Amino acid sequence: MKVTFIGAAHEVTGSCTLIELNGLSYLVDCGMEQGPDMYANVSLPVSAAGIRAVFLTHAHIDHSGMLPKLYKDGFRGKIYASENTTKLCDIMLRDSAHIQETEAEQENRKLQRSGGQPVEPIYTTEDAEGVMTLFEPCCFNTVYDADDAGDSVCSDGAGDSVRPYDQAGSGIRFRLTEIGHLLGASCIELELSENGVTRKIVFSGDVGNTGLPIVKDPEYVEHTDYLVIESTYGDRLHPNPENTVRELTSCLQRTFDRHGSVIIPAFAVGRTQEILYAIREIKEKNLVTGHDGFPVYLDSPLAEQATEIFMQCGTDCFDEETTALLKQGINPILFDDLILSVTPDDSRMINNDRNPKVIISASGMCDAGRIRHHLKHNLWKPENLILFSGYQAEGTPGRYILNGAESVRIFGETIAVRAEIDELHGMSGHADRDGLLRWLEGFREKPKMVIVNHGNERSCESFKDLLIQKGYNAAAPYSGAQFDPVSGEMTVVAEGKRIRKTGGRTDGRTDGRTDRMHVPTNPAYEELVRSAEDLMAMVRESEGLSDKELKKLSARIRKLVRGRD
């Protein structure tokens, strides 16, 4: 019985944990890293073909995005997930495959001109379609026993039948519990039995923020021996999400009054639907004055498909407020003046509309998708507002813009940042520090160990230290760490291997594992290191700027260094 932490260890993206039991191997999540790597992840010590099953917490790409690659490499086991997670993965993994294929095609055109060797996409649409045949939809709050196949047909609350399956594998019982965050998202409870010893380990998945529209608040779990919990916002508090409508109204009003447009980079699945919910309320209550009928462009084919899935769900999937609207015959996320842009031509036509408007487009971190075109056309106009609505990973264009970059490179062109930059502070799908604590305190007894992951260096360490102060036995392992649920000890304590990037090349990447104890450095020093990495990333992004702009940037950096003396 062994647990190995692979991804999202002192990082936010790339969730993946390996469980070995009775000679069999399982994964909890198989996510894609988004944004630059901060730490090297160890490779899976087993082949893809040797993995018996994957337990999937939810559909977001940082949890599900490498499933097609797993399939490409030979995985043919089962993937256990909720019904709505299965539906969302069907569109999201196909979309991700399209992105991989497109990026490989673009890279190969460059390599062909330079005489380089062609590259293959990480995976293809065929791989995404193949992996979807392995999904086994599961009901919430139903215990599945490896040795006792259920014969009853259950429902996930959406009114659809979920076909029973045989078993997860010898020695595992599991249950999915609603965790908020996203339609279909779950906390996964695993009961592991080997050689007469049974241990329970709970994986929180992404714990949802309370008070958000559409999805329910997280449900509590009563008991576990060990808990693996996320820490995306484990070092901070969110503003009250109930203020989101007022905050968004203010953004729309001041931007429209100066004849500008509001451009909202948004995650296509989850966040986009929450924004539409808020705008519907703003329009319904006439909260923005003097701009009746302002158009809202939804320019994301994936978001449109996801919205359709949301609206196909029964009321049991939603919170009380959304359910009440549906019972009144009110569509909570669709409204007059909402314009869906399906084709590339539709997308291009948006920027021909010179009137004040809202543009919602993906990706939420501005590193892919149609949002890049809208930034190219709108970022340099001072009357506009770029309104961020979600987490911006280190090294992404969204993070640079939010941190005050004066210009960014988009499609090889330098675009000045002259628009107003703001963010919706209360609109987070993740629980904050107190929300995580509140959910953790729902256990009747303290877990024997709480393992903190899915957070950057600061949030992981901060939340771990807070838990220790509150009397919990807590750890925040790096990739490669191994945990023995029988003894309750970390049998391998891995050292975090930072990735250094020089030009376009990555140095210092390692798949090695070490049993040396990690000694954390001063948190303030770690913050300084991260700031320096952000600065170097900005410098690399500056290639291609004019000599005048480069000299200006150099002077600012020299001034900063001289100020240290």
Taking only the tens of pLDDT, the chain with its 565 residues reads 999 999 999 999 999 999 999 999 999 999 999 866 678 899 999 999 999 999 999 999 999 999 999 999 999 999 999 999 999 999 999 999 999 999 899 889 988 888 889 999 999 999 999 999 999 999 999 999 644 433 333 444 433 333 333 445 568 999 999 999 999 999 999 999 999 999 999 999 999 999 889 999 999 999 999 999 999 999 999 888 878 999 999 999 999 999 999 999 999 999 999 999 999 999 999 999 999 999 999 999 999 999 999 999 988 899 999 999 999 999 999 999 999 998 999 999 998 999 999 999 999 999 888 999 999 999 999 999 999 998 887 788 999 999 999 999 998 899 999 999 999 987 889 999 999 999 999 999 999 999 999 999 999 999 999 999 999 999 999 999 999 999 999 998 888 877 644 333 333 323 222 222 222 334 454 556 556 756 765 675 566 677 777 878 887 887 776 665 4
| Cβ–Cβ < 8 Å for 281, 314 | no
Q: Are strands 161-162 and 154-155 parallel, antiparallel or unpaired?
A: antiparallel
**Dist. CA 290–CA 294, nearest whole Å:** 10
| Cβ–Cβ < 8 Å for 497, 510 | yes
Cα angle 63-64-69, degrees, rounded to a multiple of 5: 125
Residue 99 burial class via C-beta count within 10 angstroms: exposed 0-12, middle 13-18, buried 19 and up: middle
Q: What is the pLDDT of residue 316?
A: 87
Q: Taking Cα atoms as reference points, which of 256, 247, 282 lies closest to residue 357?
A: 256
Q: What is the pLDDT of residue 512?
A: 29
Q: How many helices (H) and strands (E) does the chain have?
A: 15, 27
DSSP three-state, residue 29: strand
Q: What is the pLDDT of residue 367?
A: 87
Bridge partners of residue 16, in order along the sequence:
7, 30
Q: Taking Cα atoms as reference points, which of 90, 38, 35 lies closest to residue 67?
A: 90
Q: How many CB atoms lie within 10 A of CB 36?
A: 16
Q: Taking Cα atoms as reference points, which of 298, 291, 297, 299 lies closest to residue 259?
A: 291
Q: What is the pLDDT of residue 530?
A: 58
Q: Which amino acid is at 389?
A: S
